[in-house]
Structure 1
């Protein structure tokens, strides 16, 4: 990625989809305000679309454009701090069938396009991309060497519980207050999830492409004060996983909002 700042004219693009692939828009979309308060958020893909509960517009934009943190969105309105929405998008049967035939990466692209087009249509969103020099963390192997365990390909990873969540299977990662648990995940995936926790882009610089099991425990910044609060996230990464976070600056793709409107309820 080039270090020079690039400013592109505002866009509101409906991406073209090759023939034979899923249509890049939902057949039915529902957007409703949610007044339940800040707790109880959820979002993610469903078999026939997408469903989000009690989320902000910033969260929706972050998800649709695969941004690592919401801080990479510039120009969000003041009302985004408090406004929450319930959003559901559903594909028709033909689109669902076609999507199932696509390789996983292509299917993800199609789902992202559907989300982007929904935001363009319902929020009248217009954006442009801007490469900015911003603080980032590079994730490196610590001087003492890597301490994570390489995953066993034969491990079926039976269901485990963390809080109210149950997760199983290779490639799954679970989060709780002051803990990360990974089942056969890449360090690049760990870096992505650390980005959200640290509200700063974390870039995997380890050069390692394997899959690993790990359990990380640390003291969150908002943890109650105790005589033994535990290590910080930075210290825990070095001591428990053999990984080091280096603070630096680098070119980061950001989204700048040029125009948006609150949606009409339906």
Structure 2
């Protein structure tokens, strides 16, 4: 089954650097939307914000919900079989007057738009809960951290907002002024497993890590190590298996839509 690392990046900007633009005065909502069974269930998948709104291709509703609420597989409970198996093409557009404001939205604001769309078109209702789940604990490896602490801002620029986050492409992550709380979110997407920060690190870091991405076609040759080996060798960090109480979201209601 094909995983959706870059989809999360597109929707939430988990990977991209945060922009310095301000949020719109009023919430942006989708003015119109269409939901149809996927034209082709064997092709590529996509989940993209466009200049006009949102374009989803060949994705199950369960995947849409996980992206909208930033959840891993084990954190979404009680979805019906059709939501896990039926793939959809969804188009949603904002009013023309909101197109410029759409470009400036934060990851949380874009996520809220998709959550509202799910409530409107699929009548999604949920409640939060907690479960003990299998996780990876991110710890400092033997030998210590190999990341570079982000230098302080130049004199006179201490109060300015600075770029912060991780830019990602297939098999490579570049961190800028990055706290470990952002790194664990990205590692959850890369490993498809919940990751909990146990490093105790409070600094921000600049780093680059190169690894073999499991979405790379089998025919492609790569000498890069696995993400687990790369973390130890390149960043001085390690993922260890464990258990932890983690937040989950339970689906109370979700309705299968009629195509339009």
Q: With structure 2 as the length reference, what TM-score do the two structures score?
A: 0.71
- Structure 2: distance between partners of 1:28 and 1:128: 27
1:236 has 2:235 as partner: no
Deviations 1:122-174 (A, max 9, x none): 112221111112122221221211123456899xxxxxxxxxxxxxx984533
Q: Does 1:250 align with 2:244?
A: yes
Determine whether 1:47 maps to 2:41: no
**Pairwise CA distance, 1:61:** 0.5
Instruction: Name the CA distance, whole Å, in 2 between partners of 1:171 and 1:47.
Output: 23
Whether contact under 8 Å (2:210, 2:224) holds in the other structure is no
Aligned-partner SS, 1:145: coil
- Aligned pair count reads 224
Q: Distance in 1 between matches of 2:203 and 2:42?
A: 37
SS at match of 1:117: helix
Kept after mapping to 1: 8 A contact 2:209/2:231? no
Q: Is contact 1:22-1:99 (8 Å) kept? A: no
Compute the displacement of 1:242 (Å): 0.6
1:263 maps onto 2:257 in alignment: yes
Question: What does residue 74 of structure 2 align with?
Answer: 71
**2:194 aligns to what?**
201
DSSP 3-state at the match of 1:240: helix
Measure the CA separation in 2 of the matches of 1:64 and 1:257: 14
Give the RMSD, CA atoms, in angstroms.
Answer: 3.4
Other-structure match for 2:11: none
Shift of 1:215: 2.3
Q: Is the 8 A contact 1:22 1:96 kept in 2?
A: no
**Structure 1 unmatched runs, 5+:** 1-18, 155-168
Q: Does the residue aligned with 2:231 lie in a helix, a strand or coil?
A: helix
| Offset, 1:44 | 3.0
Q: Distance in 2 between matches of 1:192 and 1:58?
A: 19
Cα distance in 1 for residues equivalent to 2:223 and 2:97:
54
